Amino acid sequence: MTAILTATLVIAAVGALAALALAVADRYLAVREDPRIGLVTAALPGANCGGCGFAGCGDYARALVAGTAAPGACAPGGDAANSEIAKILGVAAEATERRVALVKCCGTRSEAIRVGDYNGICDCAAAAATAGGDKGCRYGCLGYGACANVCPKHAIRIEDGLAIVDKRLCVGCGKCVSVCPRRLIELVPASATIHVLCNNPVRGPEVTKVCGVGCIGCRLCEKNSGGKEAGHFTFNGFLAHVNYENPPADATLVAKCPRKCIKEDPHFEAGV
């Protein structure tokens, strides 16, 4: 009995001493952090994609609490995360629409010509810097997968020399947008279904020389969607662009595009 008692007492005494030391340390040495940082970090998805412009979710959370960043920059978290964060921080949330990446090119190997046989490292920027790229069209997708390599969600794959985004996996972080040497990836509303898959603004004859499916700026899509007043399309040189503020709804214009570069939901077309 005494043995048990001594043991208990000794351990308790040692424990008490240790507790005292820790208490003192906590009182005089501890570093206080804003508890909201933890809460905000928990509300963020934790993908560490960097799409918000900060080095990971923790960094963004710290900036949010410090007030140097505004909520709403987290695309993967979407509305749920943003409103949650706004609640924690006590500010009004802005509704954000889910955006996904769109590769504005449909010139596969069987549609767009290649002017040379590229031999070198498998990277778009490197290929683009080698004699201007092996693709005949200098605006088109090179297909060496720089976007696929940076995608934190593995939502991009290369098929037949062309990058294709899986809409369901894409979180709209925008990393691919900045890494593409041809700048042909755009973040578009996930709800939009009709897209112009071309990025070449030069005149028709030059486009048709290098690509079988390049936009020549014939404006038939505009005509078929209710004319200029309807405002479903904008034009940059000889290139049509969907006005995503006011996207066309009538899918019949897709079949009427003479160049076949307007597609309906291309994200799903390849059977992903």
* Residue 124 dihedral angles phi and psi, to the nearest 5°: -60, -45
| H or E segment to which residue 268 belongs | helix 266-269
The least distance separating other proteins from the CB of residue 180, rounded to whole angstroms, comes to: 13
210 is an interface residue for other proteins by CB under 8 A: yes
The least distance separating other proteins from the CB of residue 127, rounded to whole angstroms, comes to: 8
Q: Are 51 and 76 in contact (CB under 8 A)?
A: yes
Give the binding range for other proteins (CB under 8 A) out of 29-37, 68-76, 86-94, 95-103: 29-37
Query: Which of residues 73, 125, 218, 230 is near other proteins by CB under 8 A?
Result: 125
In whole angstroms, give the CA distance from residue 25 to residue 19.
10
3-state secondary structure of 263: strand
The least distance separating other proteins from the CB of residue 89, rounded to whole angstroms, comes to: 23
19 is an interface residue for other proteins by CB under 8 A: yes
User: What tokens appear for 138 in the block?
Assistant: 């200098």
- How many C-alpha atoms does 114 have within 13 Å on its Cβ side? 17
- Residues in contact with other proteins, counted by CB under 8 A, come to a total of 47
Give the CA diameter of the chain: 102
Residues 61-100 touching other proteins, rule: CB under 8 A, are: none
Phi-psi region of 139 (alpha: psi -120 to 50; beta: other; left: phi over 0): alpha
Could you tell me the CA-to-CA distances from 247 to 31, 143, 188 in Å, in that order?
A: 52, 28, 11
14 is an interface residue for other proteins by CB under 8 A: yes
Q: Which is closer to other proteins, CB of 86 or CB of 112?
A: 112
Instruction: Please name the residues in contact with 151: beta carbons below 8 A apart, sequence gap of 6 or more.
Output: 170, 175, 176
User: What tokens appear for 235 in the block?
Assistant: 């034009």
183 is an interface residue for other proteins by CB under 8 A: no
Residues 126-145 touching other proteins, rule: CB under 8 A, are: 126, 128-134, 136, 138
The least distance separating other proteins from the CB of residue 119, rounded to whole angstroms, comes to: 4
Q: Which is closer to other proteins, CB of 46 or CB of 226?
A: 46
The least distance separating other proteins from the CB of residue 3, rounded to whole angstroms, comes to: 8
212 is an interface residue for other proteins by CB under 8 A: yes
Q: Are 147 and 163 in contact (CB under 8 A)?
A: yes
Query: Which of residues 34, 35, 46, 116 is near other proteins by CB under 8 A?
Result: 116
Residues lying near other proteins in the complex (CB under 8 A): 3, 6-7, 10-11, 14-15, 18-19, 21-22, 25-26, 29-31, 110-121, 123, 125-126, 128-134, 136, 138, 149-150, 208-212
